[in-house]
Amino acid sequence: MTDITVPARKPARPHFSSGPCAKPPGYAPEKLATESLGRSHRAKIGKSRLAYCIDLMREVLKLPDTHRIGIVPGSDTGAFEMAMWTMLGARDVTTLAWESFGEGWVTDAVKQLKLEPTVMRADYGQLPDLDKIDWSNDVLFTWNGTTSGVRVPDGEWIPDDREGLSFADSTSAVFAYDIPWDKIDVATFSWQKVLGGEGGHGVLILGPRAVERLETYTPSWPLPKVFRLVSKGKLAEGVFKGETINTPSMLAVEDAIFALEWARSLGGLEGLMARSNANAHALDKIVAERDWLSHLAVDSGIRSKTSVCLSVEGADADFIKKFAAVLEKEDAAYDIAGYRDAPPGLRIWCGATVDTADIEALGPWLDYAYAVTKAAA
């Protein structure tokens, strides 16, 4: 191991975790607005900051007025399960699973809601045949599979004349892709991904067809208070104007506002996408230059530009654990081991809050960790 050269330059911010993700460049807690802290979220200042956060999300995402935005409890999981519990059961359901979170929605549909969904699966690194989906059903899918590095190519596979609703778990996709909102009836995400925000809160986006479902259908199962979006047969509009169902962390809200204002300073969605694309391109170059490293998603047309999953030649789970530990010990890269349910490999976040220079600096450190781990085997 004494012959292994230690790289001269480290990433300035070695935060490559796929959630919670790197904070925006220049972030510091003391830069957050604090007027709302210690105040009721139902006070004028609390409601105004929540509404401002919603307005910023709409602006940056270019979300049309037809779609509503609500801040809800439980991160992306809470938001997606809220959608499932309140809207599913009105018609047949199709669930798509090509990574662990999509598989989680299958479990919810089958074991918790006792539905009998059509399940379309694909191995990690691949997609099921999207052309075979029956759109008379409600369809659940992840836009960007955080644990597999696989995304849907676009929205063209979702028909305009669909009978069922499209439910898109979009947590690693929003703010990184130009999502066609006319194709999406329900979308969910959390601030902790592309925005680099804090966890604990989810965001629920409803298109007009989803609102219609809520107002015309009552599920057969009981709904917990934190899932209730309808009052007296009508959508609880206050939820989508900053009147949250339960008490939010105003500190997390101010943190999200900081990230959204940073995004706006870049030029909004285009600026965020440009940074993610540049990061993904830089990592592609690193992979192409190393014969021991490859993409789990071989098809670049469905390869994630945010949660990029890599395969290491001959590596098992123990090798990956040691590989990642070498980098963490050197403060060269944090949290890059693949997800526990995924094939053994690396997962490197390339979202907009990461600087391309840090991705570029990571390459030699991957070589170093590979050599050290191989030598110790």
170-226 tens-digit pLDDT? 999 999 999 999 999 999 999 999 999 999 999 999 999 999 999 999 999 999 999
pLDDT in tens, 311-358: 999 999 999 999 999 999 999 999 999 999 999 999 999 999 999 999
pLDDT in tens, 230-268: 999 999 999 999 999 999 999 999 999 999 999 999 999
Q: Tell me the pLDDT band of 1, cut-offs 50, 70 and 90.
A: very low
Taking domain 29-264, whether its CATH number is 3.30.420.40 is answered by: no
Q: Tell me the pLDDT band of 377, cut-offs 50, 70 and 90.
A: confident
Residue 106 CA to residue 100 CA, distance in Å, equals 10
C-alpha to C-alpha distances, 201 to 161, 246, 276, nearest whole angstrom: 32, 11, 23
pLDDT given at position 297? 98
Q: Where are the alpha helices (DSSP H) in the chain?
A: 44-61, 75-87, 100-107, 208-216, 250-265, 269-288, 317-329, 356-376
pLDDT in tens, 219-238: 999 999 999 999 999 999 99
Per the prediction, the chain carries an average pLDDT of 97
Q: Tell me the pLDDT band of 2, cut-offs 50, 70 and 90.
A: low
Residue 364 CA to residue 5 CA, distance in Å, equals 10
Kindly tell me if the per-residue pLDDT of 134 is higher than 60: yes
pLDDT given at position 9? 97
Domains of the chain by residue range: 29-264, 268-376
Percent of the chain whose predicted confidence (pLDDT) is above 70: 99
Q: Tell me the pLDDT band of 113, cut-offs 50, 70 and 90.
A: very high
Percent of the chain whose predicted confidence (pLDDT) is above 90: 98
- Contact assessment for residue 144 and residue 177, using Cβ atoms and an 8 Å cutoff: yes
Vertex 7: Cα angle to 6 and 10 (nearest 5)? 125
Taking domain 268-376, whether its CATH number is 3.90.1150.10 is answered by: yes
pLDDT given at position 79? 98
In terms of C-beta density within 10 A (0-12 exposed, 13-18 middle, 19 or more buried), how is residue 160 classed? exposed
**What is this structure's pTM?**
0.97
Asked, as a colleague might, if the bond just before 24 is cis with ω within 30 of 0, I would say no
Question: Which of 142, 191, 268, 189 minimizes the C-alpha distance to 22?
Answer: 191
Q: Tell me the pLDDT band of 3, cut-offs 50, 70 and 90.
A: confident
pLDDT given at position 221? 96
- For residues 39-64, average pLDDT: 97
